[in-house]
């Protein structure tokens, strides 16, 4: 039986490749967006397409976690590079939607603004919050991850 699900994070393109060490008490899955800090990496709300890749050179696939202290290879995507990443649970996106990384390194639909409610001296105050517009990729397919995390094909903007 054949599957059309890729077995690699990089689908096409020519990204730059690096390696870092997973921060203490953290873990990373290939397809997570990474925050890089002084030689260590952690899954997080990256503002660039820095994406953990599989360690196929030691027989590890895209679903195998990389634990704290282990080396993780990662790509820094360039405009037009395509990757197979992770869409966060609770998301339902359409082809062409802009996406950004959440604090766990998974993709969520980009939100330009939102409102918050607070109570000040017994009065409810509604505030509009404008997000910085940190979308970094666009969805190449429709994916419904409303019940669980799912993989998604994306292109770097």
* Span 116-132, pLDDT tens digits: 556 666 777 655 555 55
pLDDT of residue 2: 44
The percent of residues above 70 in pLDDT, for the chain, comes to 85
Report the C-alpha gap between 10 and 156 in whole angstroms: 11
Mean pLDDT to the nearest integer, 90-99: 97
Best CA proximity match to 147, nearest among 102, 104, 88: 88
For the chain, the structural domain boundaries read 10-156
pLDDT of residue 1: 40
* Span 34-93, pLDDT tens digits: 999 988 999 998 989 999 999 999 999 999 999 999 999 999 999 999 999 999 999 999
Phi/psi at 24 (5° precision): -55, 140
Torsion region of 105: left, alpha or beta (phi above 0 gives left; psi -120 to 50 gives alpha): left
């Amino acid at each position: 039986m054949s599957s059309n699900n890729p077995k690699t994070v990089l689908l096409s393109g020519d990204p730059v490749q690096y390696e870092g060490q997973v921060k203490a008490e953290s873990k990373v899955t290939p397809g997570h967006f990474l925050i890089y800090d002084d030689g260590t990496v952690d899954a997080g709300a990256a503002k660039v397409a820095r994406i953990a890749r599989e360690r196929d050179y030691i027989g590890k696939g895209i679903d195998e976690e990389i634990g704290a202290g282990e080396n993780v290879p990662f790509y820094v995507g360039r405009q037009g590079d395509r990757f197979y990443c992770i869409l966060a649970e609770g998301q339902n996106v359409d082809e062409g939607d802009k996406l950004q990384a959440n604090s766990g390194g998974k993709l969520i639909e980009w939100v330009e603004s939102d409102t918050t409610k607070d109570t000040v001296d017994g009065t409810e105050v509604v505030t509009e919050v404008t997000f910085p517009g940190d979308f970094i990729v666009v969805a190449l397919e429709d994916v419904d991850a409303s019940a669980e995390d799912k993989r998604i094909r994306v292109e770097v903007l």
